[in-house]
Chains A and B, each alone.
Chain A
Amino acid sequence: METIIEARGLAKRYRHKDAVHDLSLALPAGRACAFLGRNGAGKTTTIKMLAGLIRPSGGSCSLFGRDSQQLRPGDWRKTGYVSENQELYDWMTGEELIAFTSALYPEWDKAFEKELLGKLGIPLQRRISRCSRGEKVKLALLLAMAFRPRLLILDEPFAGLDPLVRSEFLDTVLEITRQNDWSIFFSTHDIDDVEKLADDVVIIDEGRLQVSESLDTLQERFRRIDLYGSHMPIEETSAILNLQREGDHSRFIHTAFDGETTAAIQAAHPQVRIEVSTLSLKEIFIALAKKCQTESPRS
């Protein structure tokens, strides 16, 4: 399968701080990858390096097999990019900016543009500087999608949007990308969005990779386990997170759960009753974030 995005040992150092450290990831064609992390984890820096907008301090990354620092217009004709603080020519009206941008893309799909306009409800005659943030984001999304890119990079595009707009936005992206088999690499703080949209999840913290796998696999291996009727201490391993005890009740999250995990616990604690429950991505993310926070608390 073709690899659309690839990063190897990617690093970015600002003065005395490592924003990103030795990050490697890959996005195969046709997959949607959610890029998660706490505030300041290095998501935006990583995305900008992937898109060639800033130069890495170390390692390399590529889009469509070409070094991100050497991207050509042809590569950008296949890539739609929307970021939280991306500039639009806000002295133009929406209609003018669409006309200007469409001329840059021979592949611009007029019919698709109209379809997106219908779905997103963008005010065309108003100067962009007078549009709301949601309207600007929707316009940016249209400008990133109407030429039918093979890759869509979205850097927290949902931030600051009201729930209704975000829902519209997400539904549109979801519908269109599923129909067109696009690859998506997006960062967000809203885990619910990820569950709707993502096939794969990459989680970073303090610029270091924590998780990189498919959403299904991740949800498969993370389980909440409740043990009742045991006063024996639970042996803490790297696979156990968030261990809590209350009387004879122990609760923890197992990060490497498989078919044999329950039997192994039962063998070690024959008297206990074991309850295993699945976790939402949000719960997994919070558990991992807490772990990271414990291991390297921020000042």
Chain B
Amino acid sequence: MTSVFHHVRKDLRHSRWLVAITWLAAAGILWPAVTPIGERVGLVEWLPFLRYGSWLLLFLSVGRIVQLDAPLRDTAFHRSRPVSQGTWLVSKLMSCAIVILPMALFQVLMFPLAGLRPDVGDLMLIFAEEMLVHSVVAMIALTLAARMETYTRFLTIAMGLSFAFLIVFVIYVNAAEYLSRETKPEWSYDIEYLKLSRQLVTQIIAVAGLLIGLFITFRARRPERLTAAIAGTTLAASLAWFFWPVNFVKTFTRPEAEAPRSEWPDLSKVEFSFREDRFNGNKNARFNWGFGGYNDIHYQHISAYSRMEGLPPEWWVYPNGYRSSLVSPAGVVIESRQTAWAGLAEEIVLPVVGIPLPWKWENPAPQVEIGEFQKTKVDAAGPNAVLEGEVEIPIKRPVVLARIPLKAGASARIGNRRITVTSVEITRNDWVSYQTIEERPISKLRGGWHGEPHRTLKKIAINSRRGEFLNQVGESNSNHTAAHYALGSAVTNASVSMESSRGDTQVSSDWLDGAELIITGDESGGTFRREFRFENVNLIDTSWRP
């Protein structure tokens, strides 16, 4: 081991300037963290460039470290010295590890420096992911450099391969776009988690494959065989990218926020029925439908009129999911797409903070989604089909996660996230305009962007002294991610609720006195399920609605 460290010291000393620049580029992630919050938005846009730049520099650093003692160069100093292949390999791997270690640590350090407080588990996941992705870059560089006789050749081949990869990638993207026009994937969080699983496992295979390849070829004392190791690993990683079947990311994602079981509503007391309603004021109908398009494929989505009674008042119905199929008279079964997408309205939190709701909602489920089918398949099914399946209606209640003054500089931490108010003003047309910034760490193993899908945060500005809240008139959002750091900025223009006691939409000049920003989330209280079967369904004639 002493001899390994002896070589590592020499390697790092030789490439110290390049390694220092690499670290400096990687440390760029800390730049926004030490910048005032309001100025971070502009900076975060630049961070991807720094990240890719640091990868490029890492690639060059590793190449330089390896090429110092290129195993295929017969004039290399170490070739005629008592340096075993094992010592060579372990020392080069250790040098690479030393180079990438601070790069991963910068990502972890960024969060406490920025004032975010992810839990230790998240930080460890982020560290592991960073080590993994940098290991991929380092291992590719190491293997390629070990295969080349000179640094110049290493650079030339790397550039050539990058160019070839770019061409293949462009061809792939175009081909994938062309080939996928006829098939629309069933979107769900599981698909996103599977994609992330594939990304991660591809990286693991890349590192493990190249590592094993290196060990085998060096053990056989045939470094020139590294080409086979590179080719084999590329093939295995490509297969994993496209076909890896196991969704292991889902294991690490956070569970849905749940209310204590003892507080869940008794769903056996909930009455649910499908019903007819007047459509366009002229005819009773079972369904409401609409059309949508995606990738040039037309879809017909169907909702059923329904009624739900007996749900305790603090509980609400979340937009539902379903599984359904359309069975044609000839017995052809058309499976529906499955969707479950949206959230609760932020206003429902108002009773929780002492402001009565401006509207009454006696029927929490006036319509439920029951299907979405490709239009061409619906047409093929013909009239008098059977539409059957099951609706799943999530029952949730709002929770106030934070309550902060509506003034610049106020901020709240909610789990991993931090929401900061960066500016508040009353505009010329007597609306309130405020900007908030939401920051949070992202971890692929937590589901990436979809890490906390079941708890959507929403904001609502209130003035409880006046008993008023602000209706959102408009919002402009911008979202930036830099590896594991997400920054979302929202400028909200809001007016006083139309339903407020004032009866107008302008705010008074002193409205901001005592104004608060309520950050709300939701928690689950179970899922209401109901099977359904509709006969004689005619989805073809769209000249009227059934």
Residues of A within 8 A of B76 (CB): 87
Residues of A within 8 A of B81 (CB): 76, 101, 104
Q: Does A72 contact B (CB under 8 A)?
A: yes
Residue A104 contacts which of B68, B74, B75, B83 (CB distance < 8 angstroms)?
B83
Q: Does B10 contact A (CB under 8 A)?
A: yes
Q: How distant is the Cα of A67 from the Cα of B110 in the complex, in angstroms?
A: 54
Tell me if B80 and A86 are in contact (CB < 8 A): yes
Q: Does A221 contact B (CB under 8 A)?
A: no
Chain B interface extent, by class: 10 to 19
Residue B80 contacts which of A51, A100, A103 (CB distance < 8 angstroms)?
A51
Q: Does B180 contact A (CB under 8 A)?
A: no
Q: Does A85 contact B (CB under 8 A)?
A: yes
Q: How distant is the Cα of A91 from the Cα of B18 in the complex, in angstroms?
A: 14
Tell me if A54 and B74 are in contact (CB < 8 A): yes
Nearest neighbor of A82 in chain B, beta-carbon distance: B80
Q: Which of A67-126 contact B (CB under 8 A)?
A: 69-70, 72-74, 76-77, 79, 81, 83, 85-89, 91, 100-101, 103-105
Q: Does B77 contact A (CB under 8 A)?
A: yes
Residues of A within 8 A of B80 (CB): 51, 53, 76, 79, 81, 83, 86
Q: How many residues of A contact B (CB 8 A)?
A: 25
Residues of B within 8 A of A189 (CB): none
Q: How distant is the Cα of A87 from the Cα of B79 in the complex, in angstroms?
A: 10
Residues of B within 8 A of A104 (CB): 3, 6, 81-83
Q: Does A166 contact B (CB under 8 A)?
A: no
Residue B82 contacts which of A48, A51, A54, A74 (CB distance < 8 angstroms)?
A74
Nearest neighbor of A78 in chain B, beta-carbon distance: B82
Q: Does B221 contact A (CB under 8 A)?
A: yes
Residue A100 contacts which of B10, B75, B79 (CB distance < 8 angstroms)?
B10
Q: Does B427 contact A (CB under 8 A)?
A: no
Q: How distant is the Cα of A292 from the Cα of B344 in the complex, in angstroms?
A: 95
Residues of B within 8 A of A69 (CB): 221
Count how many pairs of residues, one from A and one from B, have CB atoms less than 8 Å apart in the complex: 48
Chain B min CB distance to A112 (Å)? 17
Residues of A within 8 A of B79 (CB): 53
Residues of B within 8 A of A103 (CB): 3, 6
Q: Which of B1-54 contact A (CB under 8 A)?
A: 3, 6, 10, 14
Q: Does B464 contact A (CB under 8 A)?
A: no
Chain A min CB distance to B254 (Å)? 51
Q: Which of A36-56 contact B (CB under 8 A)?
A: 48, 51, 53-54
Chain B min CB distance to A258 (Å)? 42
Residue A73 contacts which of B10, B74, B83, B221 (CB distance < 8 angstroms)?
B83
Chain B min CB distance to A67 (Å)? 10
Tell me if A76 and B75 are in contact (CB < 8 A): no
- CB-CB under 8 A for A89 and B10, given A72-B84, A73-B84, A81-B80: yes
- CB-CB under 8 A for A86 and B77, given A73-B83, A77-B82: yes
Nearest neighbor of A79 in chain B, beta-carbon distance: B80
| Per-position 1/0 for B71-93, Cβ under 8 A of A | 00111110111111001000000
Residues of A within 8 A of B74 (CB): 48, 53-54
Residue B77 contacts which of A54, A79, A87 (CB distance < 8 angstroms)?
A87
Q: How distant is the Cα of A72 from the Cα of B87 in the complex, in angstroms?
A: 12
Q: Which of B352-397 contact A (CB under 8 A)?
A: none
Q: How distant is the Cα of A87 from the Cα of B76 in the complex, in angstroms?
A: 6
Chain A min CB distance to B95 (Å)? 15
Q: How distant is the Cα of A263 from the Cα of B187 in the complex, in angstroms?
A: 105
Nearest neighbor of A72 in chain B, beta-carbon distance: B84
Q: Which residues of A contact B (CB under 8 A)?
A: 48, 51, 53-54, 69-70, 72-74, 76-77, 79, 81, 83, 85-89, 91, 100-101, 103-105
8 further A-B contacts with Cβ under 8 Å, apart from A87-B77, A104-B81, are: A73-B83, A76-B81, A79-B80, A83-B75, A86-B80, A87-B73, A103-B3, A104-B83
**Can you identify 15 A-B contacts, CB atoms within 8 angstroms?**
A48-B74, A73-B82, A73-B83, A74-B82, A76-B82, A77-B82, A87-B73, A88-B77, A89-B10, A89-B14, A89-B77, A101-B81, A104-B82, A104-B83, A105-B82
